Every structure is written in C-alpha cells, then in structure tokens.
Structure 1
Amino acid sequence: MFTFYPGLSPSNVNKDAKYSVVHSPVGGMEVRLVYRISAREKELLTNDRHERLVAMVNVVKEKVNGALGGAFYINEYHDVLVPHPDGGCVYAGTYEENLEFVYDGQTTIGPVPPPGLNPGDPWPGPHAGIPYVLRAGGTDIKYDMTSGRRIREVHLSDEVGQQPARLLARRLAAVKGHSGGRVYINEASHFFAPLNAATGGTTYVYLGALDDDAWFPVPDVPGRL
C-alpha cells in the first residue's frame, strides 16, 4: 500500500525542477540533478551518498511503476514526493539532509544559497523546488489541488489571514514583479523564481528565505515520524 500526498503535488514542471534516481555507471543507483547553466546548456550532476533517500524513492517507484528509478521532489517540509502515473504524488517519507552536487569539479551547489547572496541576485543553485503562484499585485500566494476533474485553489490568506499572507507576497513581488507568476520554494525553505530576460530566455532570481513568515501548514500525512 502507499499514501497519496494530501498537500501540494507538483505537476507540469521543467525537468530541472525535480530530482531523479538513476543507475550509476559504476553500479548501484544515485541521485541526479539536471543543472541548468543557461537557456541552451545544462549539465547532469549526480550524488551517490544518499542511499537511504534512493531506497525511499525506489520502494514507492517499484509499487506504482513496477520498476526502480525516476523523478521525485523534496518539498519545504522535507517530505519526499514521488509522482504517480495517474496523477498526484505518493508520500515516500521525510528526508532532512540537503542534497548537494559538485559542479565543474570544484563548486558545490545546493538548496542553501552561498554567503552574501541577496534577494534580487541571480539564483546560482538548483532549480529543484515546489511551485506556487504569486498573485498579481503581490496580494496572496496560492496553489491548485486537483481531485479528478475538480480543481480547488488553496490560498495562503485562507490559512494564515490576509495581512500575514500579503506581507510575504509583497516581499516576493518586490523582486519577482507585481504581475505575479510562478515562484519556487526548495527543501531548505529558500524562494527563487524565473524571470524573462530582456535578451530572451529565462533567468532565475533569488527571492529570499521563508524565515519566520507565515506559511501553509504542514500536511497531515499518516505515518509521518
């Protein structure tokens, strides 16, 4: 048996917005990240030091797909989410350790920004994260819950009140822009977002950390430790 995740289950995101479990060329399995260098260039980075995470994902993958390996997410609550072929995500457990990868033989990239990075600076980290929608005008943050053919909008203001939700939304909009749009939060609770570059293509910008801001409550998952 497995448990469908009762919270936000990502879908229709770019490949670099998720992690994957893949076979290692030297044997065994490892975690892979699609690291986007530019609009036309990416690099496949791997980390073979997360055996417990690989096992957690593969237990679910074998149950729902009949095979090992494939995409997964880690959200801001450190919950590991495995996409189900029929829609939604399956809860695979909680994993507290951050994923880090070595890029270009010397630079370590991960969900925690390097020292001195400020909101508005280019985001140098992975694009792996959970997508939310910043409403136009910086008034609120929302996501969609899909059940069959029914889609329900879940607003931060409904969970924490209008004023706390507006404070966070305005802070993100000050960098992202008041037209709103998709923003991501990663497993270390840092926000980043895509911006359309003036020269074409998309760049990613750092929006800051969640810190003590009001946020959506932790989903009530049966069996959570």
Structure 2
Amino acid sequence: MFTFYPGLSPSNVNKDAKYSVTHSLAGGMEVRLVYRISAREKELLTNDRHEDLVAMVNEVKEKVNGTPGGAFYINEYRDVLVPHPDGTCVYAGTYDDILEFDYDGQVIGPVPPHTLTPGASWSGPHAGIPYVLRAGGTDIKYELTSGRRIREVRLSDEVGPEAARSLARRLAAFKGDSGGRVYINEACHFFAPRATTADGTAYIYLGALEDDAWFPAPEVPGRM
C-alpha cells in the first residue's frame, strides 16, 4: 500500500518544475533535472549519487505504475512526492540531502550564491512547489482537491493575517502587485516567473523563507 499526501500536490507545472528518475548510460538509474537555458534550449542534467532517493521514488513508482522511473517532487519540508494518475501525489518519504548538478563546471542547485539578492535574475533550477501570491501582496494560497471538491487554503488561516501579509508583501515587492504563481524549493528559497520575452519566461529570485511564518508541514504517517 501507499500513502496519499495530505498536503499540496503539485499539478499542471512545466517539466522543468520537477525532478525525475531515469535510466543511466552506465546501466543503473539516476536523478535527472531539466535545466532550462532559454525557450529553445534546455540541458538534461543528471546525478547518480543519490541511490537512496532513487530507491525511495522507485518503490512508490512500482506500486503506483508497475514500473520504476518517472517524475517526482521534493517540497519545502523535504517530503518526496510521487505523482499519482488521479492528479494527487503519493508520499515516498523524506530526503534531507541537497540535489546538485554539474553544468559545464558550474554547480546548479536549489541554494543560490550568497551574493544573489531578491529581485535579481534566478538562474537556478525551476524545480519547486507552486503557490499563488494574491493580488496586492495580501496573502498566499494553494488549493486542495478531493474528488470534485476544491478547498482553498490561505496562509492567513494558518498563521494569522498580519504574519501572512508580511511575507506576501515581501514577495510582492519583487514579483509585483498583480500577484500570481510563486515557487518555493526544497531549500526554502522563493523564485517566480516575472515576464515572458522572446527567449521565454524570465524568472526572478524572491529571497529565502528564513524566519517568516509558513504553512505547517502536513501530518504524514511514518514521517520521522
């Protein structure tokens, strides 16, 4: 059996917003990241040094799909989520190691250089969990779907209006007052699409979560 994830299950995101387990040329399996360089160019980066993560994902994949390999997410709580055909996600476990990839001698990962400041261009991976910043920087939300019922979950409901507004305004200062989708990665750094150009969608860095109030981690059976 497997455990459906009770928290946010990402869906309708681009391929570069998730990781995947794939077969390697050496005959084993490895983690792959689709690293978007431009609208017309992407690099398939791989890392074969996370055997425990590969095994964790494949155990669920074989139960759900009958075969190993495929897409997965790591959210801000370090929970590993495997997409289910019904649009939800299955909890595969918690993974604390940071995924990093080599791109022409440059380390690509969820932790930005310490010199990167909010508002600057985000050249890191797009793997992350999508939330929605409400217009005017008043709140942050996501949706939980159960059958035909969709429930909106707001940060203000969890931490109070003032704390939610404080973080939302900080993100909106760089994302813009119109709101929209923002991502948080497994290292708790925010980034977001800013504008679409001839070369594709430009992403900006919005800063780290740090000590800001955030949604509590979902209660998952078996989490250590």
The TM-score normalised by the length of structure 1 is 0.98
The equivalent of 2:112 in structure 1 is 113
Task: Determine helix, strand or coil for the equivalent of 1:8.
Answer: coil
Q: Deviations over 1:123-178 (max 9, x none)?
A: 11100000000000000000000001110000000000000000000000000000
Distance in 1, Cα, partners of 2:201 & 2:115? 23
**Residue 180 in structure 1 maps to residue 201 in structure 2:** no
The 1:72–1:154 alpha-carbon spacing in structure 2 relative to 1, beyond 3 Å, is same
The equivalent of 2:156 in structure 1 is 157
Distance in 2, Cα, partners of 1:112 & 1:195? 20
The equivalent of 2:30 in structure 1 is 30
Distance in 1, Cα, partners of 2:123 & 2:195? 16
**CA root-mean-square deviation:** 0.9
The equivalent of 1:53 in structure 2 is 53
Task: Determine helix, strand or coil for the equivalent of 1:171.
Answer: helix
- Preserved CA contact (<8 Å) 2:81 2:92: yes
The equivalent of 2:21 in structure 1 is 21
The equivalent of 2:77 in structure 1 is 77
Distance in 1, Cα, partners of 2:183 & 2:161? 21
Distance in 1, Cα, partners of 2:24 & 2:169? 44
Distance in 1, Cα, partners of 2:9 & 2:58? 18
Stretches of structure 1 that go unaligned for 5 or more consecutive residues are: none
The 1:180–1:200 alpha-carbon spacing in structure 2 relative to 1, beyond 3 Å, is farther
Task: Determine helix, strand or coil for the equivalent of 1:57.
Answer: helix
Percent identity, aligned pairs only, is 80
The 1:26–1:53 alpha-carbon spacing in structure 2 relative to 1, beyond 3 Å, is same
Q: Deviations over 1:65-90 (max 9, x none)?
A: 00000000000000000000122000
Distance in 1, Cα, partners of 2:155 & 2:86? 27
The equivalent of 2:166 in structure 1 is 167
Task: Determine helix, strand or coil for the equivalent of 2:58.
Answer: helix
The equivalent of 1:212 in structure 2 is 211
- Preserved CA contact (<8 Å) 2:38 2:199: no
Distance in 2, Cα, partners of 1:136 & 1:175? 13
Q: Deviations over 1:180-206 (max 9, x none)?
A: 000000000000000114556310100
Q: Which amino acid aligns with 2:95?
A: Y
**Residue 144 in structure 1 maps to residue 143 in structure 2:** yes
Between the two proteins, the alignment pairs up a number of residues equal to 224
Using the TM superposition, give the Cα deviation of residue 115 of structure 1 relative to its aligned residue in structure 2, in angstroms. Answer: 2.1
Q: Which amino acid aligns with 1:217?
A: P
Stretches of structure 2 that go unaligned for 5 or more consecutive residues are: none
Distance in 1, Cα, partners of 2:187 & 2:136? 26
Q: Which amino acid aligns with 2:123?
A: P
